[in-house]
Structure 1
Amino acid sequence: MAIEGVDPRRIGRELEGAAVTVDPGLPAPVRAGVEELVRRPLGPGTGPRVHVGPALPELGPGERLLWMHSTNAGVDALLAASAGWPPGTLLTRTVGRMGERIGQYVLAWVLAELQQIPAFLEQQTSRTWNRLPTELADGTLAVVLGTGGIGAGIAAALRPCGVRTVGAARTARPVPGFDEVVALGAPDGSCAPDGSGAPSAELVAALGAARWVVGALPLTPATEGLLGSGFFGAPAGATFLNVGRGATVRTEALGRALEEGRVAHAVLDVLPEEPAGPGAPAWELPRTTLTAHSAGPTTAADVLADFRAAWLALGAGRLPGLAVRAARGY
């Protein structure tokens, strides 16, 4: 799919003469790998510029940003800070093996719950010997909110254990790796009383049958605060895990669902405001574990692999697979 105002063939032609910079805060292997790939000394210049980093660079006189490769998967903060993405400038992002990592993170929590790992750890502390009932994952249902690279990684990790996966996306359509994909929101755009989005009828049915609900949504104007009373009113005792963006969840609505038993447990890897101080509301949620944004760390190898793939695609006149559509926010 094309991006308005971005011509990959033009960008590819300009790469040869572009200055290339890497954020000084990045690990040395990233700088060395980028320099080896582009085959020129790194540093600012005049004319077109390519930048690798988490934030927009400061441009010198005569410079214009040709392409920025973000070292993060989420680019919401970057787009917000730019006050309107520069027209004609390409933005790509780093995903690397994040889908695989986050998929295994979700699988670990699913199996830990089924095998009563938290309860056995408590028994170990109290030196209590009780046999606890355990369950198989086979036949359970996971609803994954978001069917991009991270959502697909989650579905791929759960499938070998027999977990059925229903994805939720902007539109209902077949997506490889999912048993079914339903529409995320109600077609009329209606909202719940707290202003959050209303799930589609198909998603309400899936949430009601789910053992696991996993948030894997990017943060965009359409998803900010989306998961509120409308969504958390639908589950019937599911465990909720959020590995997407913290600001997609309304913490107070999740708290009510936990108190009322509609959500049995919650595992939150991301929060609306990070890091969470001692007074953060999420610490007060019942039956909830916070894991400090650790589900999908980005490595130097991830940054280099995705930058290399984008560089080669542009050199061939193609739009990179990880190009960001600024109007969508991902």
Structure 2
Amino acid sequence: MSSTPLPAGLLDRAALAVGPGTAPAVAEELAALTGRPVLGYDAEGRITGAEGGAPDAPLVLVGATLPPALRGDPRVRWFHSVNAGVDALLDGGWPAGVLLTRTVGRMGERIGQYALAWVLADCQGVPGHLARTAARAWRREPSELAGGQTALVYGTGHIGTAVASALGAAGLHTVGVGRAEHAPDGPFDERITAGEDGPWLGRARFVVDALPLTDATRDFFADARLSALRGATFLNVGRGATVSLPALGRALAAGHVRGAVLDVLTDEPPAPGHPVWELPRTTLTSHSAGITAGTDITADFRACWEALRAGQAPELAVRVGRGY
């Protein structure tokens, strides 16, 4: 986008409302930034705290969800998501004429650190050491050097780039798998498209899924790709539905996948009887790799606000047709 998606002067007239669960410190920071009181909206889409306000004013909303009642409200002109992933918001379509921006903050750093931690833990044999300690067993085991190993990183946007930067700092050879139009710069040692990953699957020691969820990436990691691996460790820090869990189970059973670390699942939290709990050599980390901090929300909203005030399109604007 090269032009502002909001009319000039709209922000001067707009009312600001935050969604359920917004931390008071975040609301206070937004009030200070925008120079106006912060209203609220509830799960039913009712605007709260607007006594004496301008009921017909344009609405700027900050939250995790957009209730159905507000999806059809013509006053809503801008929604800033407190999350990086927006697939749930886009499910069923997005209201025409409503700007959607998202929060990224320092999530890339957090997820990059997470990926590096699990890669190093795998190379150092940490799971085995923990199991032997619990069994009161003493056995020396050699470690594996991370440097020189190949890591396929699927997704070359903000998160995938941060993962590659962290892994590259430890000496891994990073191959970014992304869209052809993405610029070839950044920390990746090599860049390929999804259609070119075949020769790499059997050579990768680590595979990191940092994909957004779109129609093209749903069940992206299914039998065809997972069965082509040759003992790789698989990490998912993207979206749960990009991985077929039955296919992952088959790949683990066959040894194509050495082990899996899953931060995200399609069904969260999984029920006690969910098959994911039975996957061998698999660790679940409860969608905690890149938890958004309040400072992430306020910093990214500020960047979007200032861009719009300057007549520019925010860098964090979502391309609705693409899905992220």
Q: TM-score, normalised by structure 1?
A: 0.89
Instruction: Indicate whether 1:19 and 2:28 are aligned.
Output: no
Deviations 1:228-269 (A, max 9, x none): 112112211100000100001111111111111111101111
Q: Distance in 1 between matches of 2:230 and 2:6?
A: 53
| Aligned-pair Cα RMSD in Å | 1.7
Q: Secondary structure at the match of 2:186?
A: coil
Q: Distance in 2 between matches of 1:93 and 1:62?
A: 20
> Is 2:72–2:95's contact at 8 Å kept on the other side of the alignment?
no
Question: How many Å apart are 1:326 and its aligned residue?
Answer: 0.7
Letter in 2 for 1:300: G
For 1:107-122, what aligned pairs fall within 5 Å after superposition? 107-122=116-131
Question: How many Å apart are 1:127 and its aligned residue?
Answer: 2.5
Q: Distance in 1 between matches of 2:80 and 2:94?
A: 13
Identify if the C-alpha distance between structure 1 residues 59 and 247 changes in structure 2 by more than 3 Å, giving closer, same or farther: closer
Who is 2:35 aligned against?
39
The partner residue of 2:81 within 70, 88, 106 is: 70
Identify if the C-alpha distance between structure 1 residues 123 and 51 changes in structure 2 by more than 3 Å, giving closer, same or farther: same
Who is 1:195 aligned against?
none
Structure 1, unmatched stretches of 5+, are 185-199
Q: Distance in 2 between matches of 1:206 and 1:162?
A: 18
> Is 2:64–2:83's contact at 8 Å kept on the other side of the alignment?
yes
Who is 2:277 aligned against?
283
Question: How many Å apart are 1:274 and its aligned residue?
Answer: 0.7
> Is 2:23–2:294's contact at 8 Å kept on the other side of the alignment?
yes
Instruction: Indicate whether 1:97 and 2:106 are aligned.
Output: yes
Question: How many Å apart are 1:126 and its aligned residue?
Answer: 2.5
The partner residue of 2:24 within 28, 46, 57 is: 28
Letter in 1 for 2:101: T
Q: How many pairs were matched up? A: 308
Q: Distance in 2 between matches of 1:246 and 1:142?
A: 20
Q: TM-score, normalised by structure 2?
A: 0.91
Q: Secondary structure at the match of 2:151?
A: strand
Question: How many Å apart are 1:183 and its aligned residue?
Answer: 0.7
Deviations 1:59-112 (A, max 9, x none): 4998521110001111011111xx321222110001111111011111111111
Q: Distance in 2 between matches of 1:122 and 1:27?
A: 40
> Is 1:140–1:164's contact at 8 Å kept on the other side of the alignment?
yes
Q: Distance in 2 between matches of 1:250 and 1:182?
A: 23
Who is 2:51 aligned against?
none
Identify if the C-alpha distance between structure 1 residues 236 and 60 changes in structure 2 by more than 3 Å, giving closer, same or farther: closer
> Is 1:243–1:295's contact at 8 Å kept on the other side of the alignment?
yes
> Is 2:262–2:284's contact at 8 Å kept on the other side of the alignment?
yes
Question: How many Å apart are 1:286 and its aligned residue?
Answer: 1.2
> Is 1:172–1:182's contact at 8 Å kept on the other side of the alignment?
no
> Is 2:232–2:259's contact at 8 Å kept on the other side of the alignment?
yes
For 1:151-300, what aligned pairs fall within 5 Å after superposition? 151-171=160-180, 174-184=184-194, 200=195, 202-300=196-294
Identify if the C-alpha distance between structure 1 residues 47 and 283 changes in structure 2 by more than 3 Å, giving closer, same or farther: same
- % same residue: 54
Q: Which moved more, 1:43-52 or 1:242-251?
A: 43-52
Structure 2, unmatched stretches of 5+, are 40-46, 48-54
